[in-house]
Structure 1
Amino acid sequence: MFGSFQLNKKWSWQDWTMLCIHGLWVTAVLLFMYQDQPDFPLGFILPVLLASHLLPFALVHFRYPYYLAAELAVAGGVSIALAYQFGLLRLFLPVLLLLGFYSRGKAHAAVIPLAVGVFVLSAMAPGSPLPLERPFWGQSVADALVLYGIGYALQKGAGAINRISNKLLIVKEQYAILEQYSSQIERMTLLEERFRLARELHDTIGHSYTSMILGMETLHSHISSREGEEKLAGLLSLARSGLDDIRRQVHRMDPLEDSQPLDQALMHMLEEFKTSTGVQGYFRTMGTPYPVMKQAKLVLYRCLQESMTNASRHGQASRIEVTLQYDASYLMLQIQDNGSGSSQIQFGFGLTAMSDRLSALQGSLYVHSHEEQGTLVTCTIPNRSNEGTEQIRVLIVDDQLLVRESLRLLLGEEKDMRVTVAGDGKQAVESCERELPDLILMDIHMAEMDGLKATKKVKEAWPNVRVIMMTTLDEVDYAAESLRLGAEGYLLKSIHPKELAATIRLVYSGGTMISPHVAQQLFQQTEESAINLYGLTERELDILQCLTEGQRNKAISEKLHLSEGTIRNYISSIYLKLQVSDRDSAIAKAKNEKLCVNSNSR
Structure 2
Amino acid sequence: MLEMVKKWFWYDWIMLGLRLITSVSLILTTIRFQEGIALPLWIVIFWEIAAFSIPWVCLLLNYKYYLFTEILLFGGLCVHLTSLFPEAFPSFLVSVFLIAANSARLSYHWTAPATVLVIPGIFYVVSPNYSYWLMVIYYGLAYVMGFAFHLLTVNHRQNETIRKQNAVLEQYMSQIERITLAEERNRLSRELHDTVGHAYTSIIMGMEAFRSELATGKGIQRLDSLLELGRKSIEEVRGYLHQMESPQQSLSLVQALQKLGVEFQEHARVEVSFRAFGEESRLSRQAKMAFIRCLQESLTNAVRHGQATDITVSLQFGHQDTRLEVHDNGRGMEEWQEGFGMNAMKERAMNLQGQVFVYTKPGEGTLVTCTLPRQAEMENDLIQLLIVDDQPFIRESLQMLLDKYQDLNVVGSAEDGEQAVNLCGRLQPHVVLMDLDMPRMNGAETTKMIKQQWPHIRVLIFTTFQDAEQALDLLRSGADGFLLKSTEPLELADTIRLIHRGGTLIDQGMSHKIFEKLDKSVESTQLKAVNDYDLTYREIELLQLVAKGLGYKTIASKVYLSVGTVRNYASSAYIKLGVRNKEEAIQKALEIGIIVS
Q: TM-score w.r.t. structure 2 length?
A: 0.70
Q: SS at the partner of 2:275?
A: strand
Q: Secondary structure at the match of 1:395?
A: strand
Residue 56 of structure 2 aligns to a residue in which SS? coil
Q: Single out whichever of 295-304 and 142-151 deviates more from structure 2.
A: 142-151
Aligned-pair CA distance for 1:505: 1.8
- Could you tell me which residue of structure 2 aligns to residue 350 of structure 1? 341
Sort the Cα spacing of 1:495 and 1:256 in 2 relative to 1 into closer, same or farther, 3 A: farther
Q: Does 1:511 align with 2:503?
A: yes
Letter in 1 for 2:82: S
Query: Residue 176 in 1 paired to residue 167 in 2?
Result: yes
Corresponding position of 1:210? 201
| Secondary structure, counterpart of 2:88 in structure 1 | coil
Structure 1 unmatched runs, 5+:
31-41, 83-88, 129-135, 528-533, 551-587, 589-597
| Cα distance between partner residues in 2 of 1:101 and 1:284 | 45
Q: Which amino acid is the alignment partner of residue 485 of structure 1?
A: L
- Provide the C-alpha distance between the structure 2 equivalents of 1:183 and 1:47, rounded to a whole number of angstroms: 70
**Aligned-partner Cα distance in 2 for 1:308–1:548:** 40
1:296–1:381 Cα contact (<8 Å) kept: yes
Which residue pairs with 1:281 in the alignment? 272
1:163 deviation in Å?
A: 1.9
2:432 corresponds to: 440
- Distance, in Å, in 2 between the alignment partners of 1:201 and 1:510 is 32
State how far apart, in whole Å, the 2-side matches of 1:231 and 1:388 are. Answer: 40
What does residue 557 of structure 1 align with?
none
Higher helix share: 2
Change over 3 Å in CA distance of 1:463–1:116 after alignment to 2 = same
Name 2:582's counterpart in structure 1: none
Q: Within the alignment, does 1:123 sit opposite 2:136 as a pair? A: no
**Closer, same or farther: CA 544–179 of 1 in aligned 2, 3 Å:** closer
Aligned-residue offset at 1:378: 0.3
Aligned counterpart for 1:476 among listed residues 445, 465, 468? 465
5 Å-filtered alignment, 1:45-124, equals: 45=33, 58-59=52-53, 60-62=55-57, 64=66, 68=71, 70-72=73-75, 74-82=77-85, 89-95=86-92, 98-99=95-96, 101-102=98-99, 115-116=119-120, 119-124=123-128
2:303 to 292, 296, 312: 312
Matches within 5 A, 1:184-195: 184-195=175-186
Structure 1 residue 318: deviation in Å? 2.2
In structure 2, relative to structure 1, the CA distance for the partners of 1:158 and 1:77 (3 Å cut) is same
Q: Does 1:235 align with 2:226?
A: yes
Does structure 1 retain, via aligned residues, the 8 Å contact 2:525–2:594?
no
Compared CA separation, residues 480 and 216, structure 1 to 2 (3 A) = farther
Partner of 1:264: 255
Bigger Rg, structure 1 or 2:
1
The aligned counterpart of 1:536 is 517
Summarize deviations over 1:91-132 as a string: whole Å, max 9, x none.
3144266247528658899989984575235425xxx5xxxx
Three-state SS of the structure 2 residue aligned to 1:339 is coil
Question: CA separation of 1:61/1:545 partners in 2, compared to 1, >3 Å: closer, same or farther?
Answer: closer
Q: Equivalents in 2 of 1:61, 1:257: separation in Å?
A: 50
Q: In the TM superposition, what is the alpha-carbon distance from 1:401 to its structure 2 partner?
A: 6.5
C-alpha deviation, 1:23, in angstroms: 10
Alpha-carbon spacing, 1:213–1:336, altered in 2? closer, same or farther (3 Å): same
1:485 aligns to 2:474 (yes or no) = yes
Shift in CA distance, 324/253, structure 1 to aligned 2, threshold 3 Å: same
Superposition deviation, residue 463 in structure 1? 5.8
Note the C-alpha offset of 1:257.
9.6
Q: Deviations 1:474-510 (Å, cap 9, x if unpaired)?
A: x3346874564234131437733x5433221212334
- Count of residues in Structure 1 that have an aligned counterpart in Structure 2: 503
Larger displacement relative to structure 2 (286-295 or 485-494): 485-494
Q: Label 1:493 to 1:446 Cα distance change in 2 as closer, same or farther (>3 A).
A: farther
1:324 aligned counterpart, secondary structure: strand
Q: Distance in 2 between matches of 1:43 and 1:445?
A: 100
Whether the 8 Å contact between 1:307 and 1:335 is mirrored in structure 2 is yes
Q: CA deviation at 1:235?
A: 0.6
What is the one-letter code of the residue matched to 1:476?
Answer: F
Q: Is the 8 A contact 1:439 1:508 kept in 2?
A: yes
Q: Are 1:500 and 2:492 counterparts?
A: yes
The structural deviation recorded for 1:467 is 2.0
Q: Structure 1: how far apart are the matches of 2:327 and 2:444?
A: 46
Three-state SS of the structure 2 residue aligned to 1:61 is helix
Aligned-partner Cα distance in 2 for 1:439–1:148: 87
| Residue pair 2:325, 2:369 contacting (<8 A) in 1 also | yes
Name the CA distance, whole Å, in 2 between partners of 1:48 and 1:240: 107
Provide structure 2 residue ranges, at least 5 long, that are not aligned to the other structure.
38-43, 59-65, 530-572, 574-590
How far apart in 1 are the matches of 2:375 and 2:148?
A: 64
- 1:221 Cα offset (Å): 4.0
- Following superposition, the deviation at residue 334 of structure 1 comes to 0.5
Inter-CA distance 377–145: structure 2 relative to 1 (3 Å threshold): same
| Contact 2:329/2:364 (<8 A) preserved | yes
1:247 aligns with 2:238: yes
Shift of the 238–266 alpha-carbon distance from structure 1 to 2, 3 Å rule, reads same
1:443 deviation in Å?
4.0
User: Hey, what does 1:365 align to over in structure 2?
Assistant: 356
In the superposition, relative to structure 1, how do residues 81 and 340 fare at CA in structure 2: closer, same or farther (>3 Å)?
same
Identity between Structure 1 and Structure 2 (%):
32
Cα distance change of structure 1 residues 433 and 547 upon mapping to structure 2, 3 Å threshold: farther
Aligned equivalent of 1:467, options 459, 463, 473 = 459
What CA distance in whole angstroms lies between the structure 1 residues aligned with 2:51 and 2:145? 17
Q: Given that residues 365 and 378 in structure 1 are in contact (C-alpha distance below 8 angstroms), is that contact kept between their aligned partners in structure 2?
A: yes
Q: Kindly provide the amino acid, as one letter, of the partner of residue 366 in structure 2.
A: T
Distance 1:117 1:437 in 2: 98
User: Is the CA contact (8 Å cut-off) linking 1:548 and 1:599 kept in structure 2?
Assistant: no
Q: Using the alignment, how far apart are the partners of 1:492 and 1:436 within structure 2? A: 24
Structure-1 separation of matches of 2:248 and 2:94: 70
TM norm structure 1? 0.69
1:188 is paired with a residue whose SS is helix
Is the Cα–Cα contact under 8 Å of residues 97 and 150 in structure 1 kept in the other structure?
no
Name the SS for the 1:169 alignment partner: helix
Q: 1:339 to 1:47 in 2, by over 3 A?
A: farther
Q: 1:461 to 1:155 in 2, by over 3 A?
A: farther
Per-residue CA shift, 1:276-316, capped at 9, x if unaligned? 32222111111122212222112111111211122222222
2: CA distance, partners of 1:336 / 1:269 = 16
Does 248-257 or 356-365 show the bigger shift? 248-257
Paired residues of 2:20 and 2:52 also in contact (CA < 8 A): no
Shift of 1:365: 0.8
C-alpha contact 2:36 2:84 (8 A) present in aligned 1: no
